[in-house]
Amino acid sequence: MTTRLFHVSDVHFGVEDRACLDQVAKAVREERPDALVCTGDLTQRATHQQYKEAADWFRSLGVPIWLNVGNHDMPYKNLWERFTDPYRRYNALREAVAVDSFETPDVVLVGLKSTVRIQPRFPWSDGFVTEQALSETQKELHALQGDDRHIVVTTHHPLLGPKGEAKNPTIGGDAAFAALGQAGAQAVLSGHIHKPLDEIRELAGARIRMLGSGTLSSRLRHGAGPSYRALTFTKGEPIASELRELEPSA
Ligand SMILES: [Fe+2]
């Protein structure tokens, strides 16, 4: 038995690459993955219109949708709402189109929040794993102790900085990586940097496969084009990851 997941990220409705989204939707129709994971930055500015476009697209796919919140998914102009109720719009989308849990005989997904409404530095776009967010994820992982399926954490920001660089832009990322690895996470799916990554990282006794998908928007960075991943999970075997690089629209 195997489980197939599509992993997309940073769709940024508002500046989405529609032709790329059409290609993903076509692949979903043809291949019928068991779920589609989107690791955050669903919208560009968290407007109601952008959330509506996101809802329409995710709903049209007809497969279970698993979401993470990204730094772009909190109101940008409405600061009152950003400070008082930053996840209201995201939570409404999640309730409308996404599942709260996803597990099969091969794999279990566990979410980790890497955003905060405000942080004591700029840019606010970088990741911040709070102790509370980490402890909620750890609790879920501890409940899975001894489970021999693939235990996969999904989050928006990469938990570690680029390989070989001392600085980690994600506050709390090192501690989260170590804690998740010790609690049994085998892989972390993330986005945010608009560039795919697939590397095994080790820190503080933890060893985790870090899988990132690029963007499906026009916000191309680091010389990388749009991309997503098709992941195959089979119990007892390494995760098979196929990176699908797409042509950006002109
Ligand atoms: Fe982001």
Q: Identify whether 60 is part of a domain.
A: yes
* Cα 92 to averaged position of ligand 1 atoms, centre (Å): 19
List the domain range (segments joined by +) for residue 85.
3-245
Counting every residue written for the chain, the total comes to 250
* Cα 236 to averaged position of ligand 1 atoms, centre (Å): 32
For 35, the 3-state DSSP assignment is: strand
pLDDT at site 122: 87
Most confident range (mean pLDDT) of 75-84, 102-111, 162-171 is: 102-111
* Cα 122 to averaged position of ligand 1 atoms, centre (Å): 14
Pairing of strands 107-111, 35-38: unpaired
**Whether the predicted pLDDT of 186 surpasses 90:** yes
* Cα 158 to averaged position of ligand 1 atoms, centre (Å): 10
* Cα 139 to averaged position of ligand 1 atoms, centre (Å): 25
Q: Identify whether 90 is part of a domain.
A: yes
The helix-helix angle for 48-61 and 18-31 (nearest 10°) equals 30
**Whether the predicted pLDDT of 250 surpasses 80:** no
Residue 209 has which token pair?
């496969």
Query: Considering only CA atoms, which of 184, 200, 171, 165 is closest in space to residue 113?
Result: 171
Q: Identify whether 250 is part of a domain.
A: no
Q: Identify whether 234 is part of a domain.
A: yes
Q: Identify whether 205 is part of a domain.
A: yes
**Whether the predicted pLDDT of 222 surpasses 90:** no
Q: Identify whether 135 is part of a domain.
A: yes
196-215 tens-digit pLDDT:
999 999 999 999 999 999 99
The CATH number covering residue 8 comes to 3.60.21.10
* Cα 199 to averaged position of ligand 1 atoms, centre (Å): 20
Q: Identify whether 88 is part of a domain.
A: yes
pLDDT at site 51: 98
* Radius of gyration of the chain measured on its C-alpha atoms: 17
112-129 tens-digit pLDDT:
999 999 998 888 899 999
Residue 29 has which token pair?
């129709």
Mean per-residue pLDDT of the chain: 96
Total domains, the chain: 1
Q: Identify whether 228 is part of a domain.
A: yes
